[in-house]
Amino acid sequence: MTSSSPVFTTQEDRSARIAVTIFPLLILAAAALGFFAPAAGQAIAGYTSIFLGVIMFAMGLTLTLPDFGLVLRRPLPVLIGVIAQYLIMPLTGFAISWALQLPPELAAGVILVGCAPGGTSSNVITYLAKADTALSVTMTSISTLLAPLLTPLLTLWLAGTYMPLDAGGMALTIVKIVLIPVIAGLVIRLLFSRLVDRILPALPWVSVAGISLVVIAVVSGSADKIVAAGALVLLAVILHNSFGYLLGYWFARVLRQPVRTARTTSIEVGMQNSGLAAGLAASYFSPAAALPGAVFSIWHNLSGAVLAMYYRRSADRHLAADPHAGAEAPGLGADAGAGAPESR
C-alpha cells in the first residue's frame, strides 16, 4: 500500500486480485470454524488485541512518507474523504440501527463499525476499479491516525444510548493496537526499506491471517446470537455498506469532485476496518456486539470486488469513447500508485 511505484506490476496486480478473491473465502472458513468449534476460538480470544496490533504493524510497513505528501498537494479531496468517512458511516450506522430496531448489543456493534477508520482492502479495490489509488492510501492512513480520537468520541455519542462505554479506555486501546504499531511500521520501513521491500508481497497475507483469527474468536463467543439474529445482522451490514458506497460517491460529487475522486471516496467510505471494530466491540461491549464487524469483514470484500468490476468497466467505456482522456483515465498517471496490496 505504498505509492513508491507508479503502478502495480503484473505480479502485484495478480496478487491483488487473488487477495480480494481469496480473502472472503478464508474469512468464511474462519467464521465456520469459530461457529462449529467454539473451543478453538475461545482459546485464542484473549489474544485479539495482539492480532489487531500485528495487522496494523503490517499496514505501517507498507507506508512511506510520500503517502502523506498528498495531504499537502491535494488537500481538498483528502479532507472530503476523511470527513465523509467519519460523518456518513457513523450516522448511517445509527440510522440503520434505529430503523431496524436492533437489540442494544447489535446496534452498538453496527455503530462501532461505522465509527471505525477505513479498511486497507479499500486500496486494492480502488486500484482494481481504476480509481485513484494514491488518494485511497492517503485517506486510509489519515483516517487511521485519527481513529484514537474520533472512533471513541463518535461511538460514545451514537452508541452510548444503547450500551455504556468507557471511551477513554477505548481511546487508549486504539493508541496501543493501532497508532503505535502503525508508526512503528512506518519507522522501520524508513530505516530498513530494502529489507521491508522484500517482504511486502507477504504482508497482505499477514492481514488475512490476523483478521481470520479475530473472526474465529468473535464468532466462537456468540454462536447462539448468530442463530438468533444472523439474518438481521446481515441485512444491517448490507444496508450499511451499500449506503456507504452510494453516499460517499455523491458526497464527493456534490462538492464538485471529479468522477474518479468520487469513486475513490465511495470505496473508501464503504469499506471499513471492520476487524478493528469487531475487536473493540468484543472488548468494550459484548461478543454479540462484535458480530456486525465480523459479518462486515466478509461482506465488504465481496461487494467491493463487484463494485470494482463495475467501476473498471465504466472507466474502460469512458476511455474507449474518448481516447484523448487517457492521461486522466482512472488508474493512469502518477497518482495511481500503489505497492503491495493489503486485505482487511
Residue pLDDT, tens place only, 70-81:
888 889 999 999
Task: Name every residue whose Cβ is closer than 8 Å to that of residue 78 and which is 6 or more positions away in sequence.
Answer: 70, 71, 135, 138, 139, 142
Contact 195, 10 (CB under 8 A): no
Q: What is the pTM of this model?
A: 0.83
Report the DSSP beta bridge partners of residue 50: none
pLDDT at 214 over 90: no
Listed range (151-165, 213-227, 251-265, 274-288) with the worst mean pLDDT? 213-227
Q: In terms of CATH architecture, what is 11-316?
A: Up-down Bundle (1.20)
pLDDT in tens, 167-209: 999 999 999 999 999 999 999 999 998 898 888 877 877 877 8
Supply the pLDDT for residue 128: 81
Report the DSSP beta bridge partners of residue 272: 118
Supply the pLDDT for residue 25: 82
Which three three-digit cell numbers place residue 240?
450499511
* Residue range 206-222: mean pLDDT, rounded: 83
Task: Name every residue whose Cβ is closer than 8 Å to that of residue 65 and which is 6 or more positions away in sequence.
Answer: 190
Listed range (11-15, 149-153, 191-195, 276-280) with the worst mean pLDDT? 11-15
3-state secondary structure of 272: strand
Nearest by Cα to 118 from 134, 135, 132, 139: 139
pLDDT in tens, 147-168: 999 999 999 999 998 999 999 9
pLDDT in tens, 220-248: 877 777 777 778 999 999 999 999 999 99
| Better pLDDT: 225 or 125 | 125
